[in-house]
Amino acid sequence: MAFQLPKLKYQYNALEKSIDPMTMEIHYSKHHQAYVDNLNKALEQYPELFGLSLDQLLQRIGDFAADIRMKVRNNGGGHWNHSFFWDILTPDLSNPSERLQDKIKEFFGTFDNFKTEFKKVALDRFGSGWAWLIKDSENKLKLVSTPNQDNPLMDIVEERGTPVLGLDVWEHAYYLRYQNRRADYIDAFWDVVDWKRVEELIFEN
């Protein structure tokens, strides 16, 4: 069974207060679709990898032969990262619950400080990549950043963990509306985060 673009839970214009419809449409139907297509194409040559889930593929990239490793890293990563990103966004008004705020405060002092630190990590990513809030193997929350389409599930990254929040800071994610102003895009991101989903991801096993 080939990998497929996941259905969006909202329309292209639904996140307009933060992300314009054309960016959503191109990002989802062109960029994300290309990662899916290129991943499927790469795996055609490797029937022994068929049947592995996307998570399983990403967790063993280091074991793959050189010619398939980079393709799975870039396109499998791209497919996972974008599927995750769409899922933690919502057009609905969403506020972090007290339980979620307490958890964040445990690791970042205040909720505002968490946002400030997240923004720093997202701004410090040189070129293309992602900023993440992850849950590590001891259930500790940490901020990390990965280049290109790497993500914290991969066995090849420095700090591994389970993503519970993530932001695409590739220029294709924000350039049409924000041009070079990545900081403004990061600020606007908070208005469309699905905190309920983030909470589920933090507290689920």
Interface positions with Mn ion (CB under 5 A) = 168, 170, 173
Beta bridge partners of 144: 132
Is residue 58 a contact partner of residue 66, using CB atoms and an 8 Å limit? Answer: no
Take residue 13 and report the two structure tokens written for it.
């214009």
- Region for 79 from its dihedrals, namely left if φ exceeds 0, alpha if ψ lies in -120 to 50, beta otherwise: alpha
Nearer to Mn ion, 108 or 174 (CB): 174
Q: Kindly list the distances between the CA atom of residue 45 and the CA atoms of 34, 51, 74, 90, 133, in Å, as whole numbers in the listed order.
A: 18, 14, 17, 37, 34
Nearer to Mn ion, 143 or 173 (CB): 173
Nearer to Mn ion, 43 or 169 (CB): 169
Is residue 45 a contact partner of residue 126, using CB atoms and an 8 Å limit? Answer: no
| Beta carbon of residue 15, minimum distance to Mn ion (angstroms, whole number) | 14
Nearer to Mn ion, 86 or 114 (CB): 86
Is residue 90 a contact partner of residue 194, using CB atoms and an 8 Å limit? Answer: yes
| Beta carbon of residue 68, minimum distance to Mn ion (angstroms, whole number) | 22
| Beta carbon of residue 38, minimum distance to Mn ion (angstroms, whole number) | 14
| Beta carbon of residue 31, minimum distance to Mn ion (angstroms, whole number) | 5
Which amino acid would we find at residue 24? M
| Beta carbon of residue 184, minimum distance to Mn ion (angstroms, whole number) | 17
- Which residue bears the tokens 């996140």? 15
Q: How far apart are CA 78 and CA 81, in angstroms?
A: 5
- Which residue bears the tokens 């932001």? 167
Nearer to Mn ion, 161 or 166 (CB): 166
